[in-house]
Amino acid sequence: MSNTVFIFITGGVVSSIGKGITIASLGLLLKRRGLSVAIQKFDPYLNVDPGTMSPYQHGEVFVTEDGGETDLDLGHYERFMDQNLSQLSSVTSGMVYWDVLSKERRGDFLGNTVQIIPHVTNEIQRRLVSVLDETHYDVVLTEVGGTIGDMESMAFLEAIRQFQYNNRSQCFHIHMTLVPYIQAAGELKTKPTQHSVKELRGIGIYPDAIVCRAELPLDESVKKKIALFCDVDETAVISAHDVPSLYEVPFVLAKENLDGVVAKKFGWESVPIDLSDWAQFVELSKTTPNQTLTIALVGKYTALSDAYISVVEALKHASMAYNCSVKIQWVHADDLENTDSLDKQFSNVDGILVPGGFGDRGLGGKIRAAHYAREQKIPYFGLCLGMHVAVIEFAQNVLQWPNANSREFSSEDKLVIDLMEDQHNQTDKGGSMRLGAYDCHLVTDSLAYQAYQTSVVSERHRHRYEFNNTYREAFESAGLRIVGENRDRNLVEIIEIPDHPWYLACQFHPEFKSRPNRPHPLFSSFIQGVLSKQ
């Protein structure tokens, strides 16, 4: 840790201001400077992780290679930095308190009174540096969730203040605030930023840079005013104004020289940054597409696009590579259950995608969507639950098993989706989850193999129910192909229907591994399949 620097980003004025995109963009810039970068998120909520939270509460649950269920910001970090993260990159108040109280129960504190200071703050600091336990990094980037003034985040801020006290020369603080534009006055207002910085300084943290989120670029007079009243260098007041795409943010921050401000503090040499590949992707996003594809995304959290943000981004990555754009038609699964015909919902769609999820609400609508896609020869892509839906639909309508179902939703019907044998007696549902990366062996004459161009791949999972191998022969005899499996545990990973323009469903979540400059092979194949049907 001796020569590692720690960069913290906090937020003020309002939540959801864009700290995650900002720190991910800074991580990209620092990596392009040749530095090794670790990145992590401190979330102040008391849940141990977001795995049991409704997506309406916190957006999608992102899954790391080692099976961590984390905040969606880790998806931004991975996509921008093109770097796989681990469970160490996600820290919640729930994790911290759980560990502290577990130590207290074991007697680790030798009878002392357990308090926020020093026990909780010490545990936070331990987790801050834990990313360095196995690998050295030049830089550790840490985003503190929430907003300055929130009671929930005070322990994290105090821990950072203490850490800075002992490692002052290695710390850099970025504070991100809203600079609102008052249209009637025609002005950007700096007072909220001044108050937010004042509150941060009252905690004992003095920002080295202020990133100002605004509708319009900040002019020099606004920057001078913020610099004067917030006691930072004028060059360290960074304009983070609105841009058409979040993928343009690295260019905004590079132009504002945020990475240069950081480099100046730590005495790093000035080096040129090559963002040509990133620029190529951004340019593609601005190019007038040859055509627009309409993809129906059938789910139960469609009122909040962040619930499926990795799926949405993966579709963007794949479509841009074919010089087309994707228009997502959000279809609430419940709405498909009580309608006589699905022609109205799907008459103008080019493909149907059913993403992952839990629970039986909207299940009937998802099954009907898979049935419509299969019969009407519309390209279908099922992810996790989307595969279960496809299997249940095939069993009900092709194998003529009307009671076919999943143990997740029934315990008495013909369970074509079931728990593995060693999971039946587990009472802790979290303990029976298959989480993180698992290998998948592919059949060579398949859509999946054509997409991946390799026979063994590794993909991330988040589920507890599996294809029931008892019925495998019956499915394959009826025309459903099993083209991917995990051989270590004899688990079905990918199914296809050959007599169809493009019909594939997988047990895993390929969206988590898609990158702007490297679209996921299955998403690329899906877009290709949709285009070939035009």
What confidence tens digit (pLDDT) does each residue in 84-109 have?
Answer: 999 999 999 999 999 999 999 999 98
Edge-to-edge strand list for the sheet holding 503-506: 324-332, 291-299, 351-354, 380-383, 503-506, 491-496, 481-486, 434-442, 456-463
Q: Are residues 367 and 231 in the same domain?
A: no
Residue from 76, 317, 509, 520 carrying the catalytic annotation: 509
CA within 13 Å, CB half, 239:
17
Q: Are residues 354 and 393 in the same domain?
A: yes
What was the pLDDT predicted at 429? Answer: 45
What was the pLDDT predicted at 32? Answer: 95
Kindly give the pairing relationship between strand 481-486 and strand 491-496: antiparallel
Chain Cα centroid distance, residue 168 = 32
Q: Are residues 197 and 296 in the same domain?
A: no
Q: Are residues 240 and 313 in the same domain?
A: no
Active site residue 511: yes
pLDDT digits (tens, 9 = 90+) for 324-382: 999 999 999 988 888 878 888 898 999 999 999 888 888 999 999 999 999 999 999 99
Q: Are residues 443 and 464 in the same domain?
A: yes
What was the pLDDT predicted at 50? Answer: 86
Residue from 230, 324, 384, 440 carrying the catalytic annotation: 384
Take residue 184 and report the two structure tokens written for it.
């009637």
Please give the Cα distance from 168 to 486 (Å, whole number).
49
Q: Are residues 161 and 187 in the same domain?
A: yes
Q: Are residues 247 and 332 in the same domain?
A: no
pLDDT digits (tens, 9 = 90+) for 378-394: 999 999 999 999 999 99
In the chain, the amino acid numbered 297 is L
Q: Are residues 296 and 268 in the same domain?
A: no
Higher-scoring residue by pLDDT: 448, 146: 448
Q: Are residues 27 and 144 in the same domain?
A: yes
Q: How many domains does one find in the chain?
A: 2
Q: Are residues 55 and 92 in the same domain?
A: yes
Long-range contacts of the stretch 126-132 (C-beta < 8 A, 24+): 127/88, 127/91, 127/95, 127/96, 128/6, 128/40, 128/91, 128/159, 128/160, 128/163, 129/1, 130/88, 131/38, 131/40, 131/88, 131/89, 132/1, 132/4, 132/38
Specify the length of the chain in residues.
534
CATH code assigned at 352: 3.40.50.880
Mean pLDDT of 2-14: 92
Q: Are residues 172 and 232 in the same domain?
A: yes
The predicted model scores a pTM of 0.92
pLDDT digits (tens, 9 = 90+) for 418-440: 987 655 444 444 446 899 999 99
Active site residue 393: no
Q: Are residues 313 and 249 in the same domain?
A: no
What was the pLDDT predicted at 16? Answer: 83
Please give the Cα distance from 74 to 81 (Å, whole number).
10
Helix crossing, 154-166 with 121-129: angle to 10°?
60
Active site residue 60: no
Please give the Cα distance from 339 to 372 (Å, whole number).
13
Say yes or no to pLDDT of 54 above 90.
no
Residue from 158, 459, 493, 511 carrying the catalytic annotation: 511
Mean pLDDT of 133-153: 92
Residue 139: give the domain boundaries: 5-280
Take residue 453 and report the two structure tokens written for it.
């161009």
Residue whose token pair is 């939270």: 53
Mean pLDDT of 111-133: 93
Lowest average pLDDT, out of 136-150, 171-185, 233-247, 426-440, goes to 426-440
Three-state SS at 483: strand
What was the pLDDT predicted at 422? Answer: 53
Q: What is the mean pLDDT of the chain?
A: 92
What was the pLDDT predicted at 317? Answer: 95
What was the pLDDT predicted at 31? Answer: 96
CATH code assigned at 162: 3.40.50.300
Please give the Cα distance from 171 to 157 (Å, whole number).
13
Domain boundary among 248, 280, 312: 280
Mean pLDDT of 500-528: 96
Domain boundary among 280, 305, 332: 280
List residues bridging with 211 in a β-sheet. 176, 238
Mean pLDDT of 208-224: 95
Take residue 286 and report the two structure tokens written for it.
């601005």
On whether the CB atoms of residues 463 and 492 are closer than 8 A, the answer is no
Domain boundary among 228, 259, 280: 280
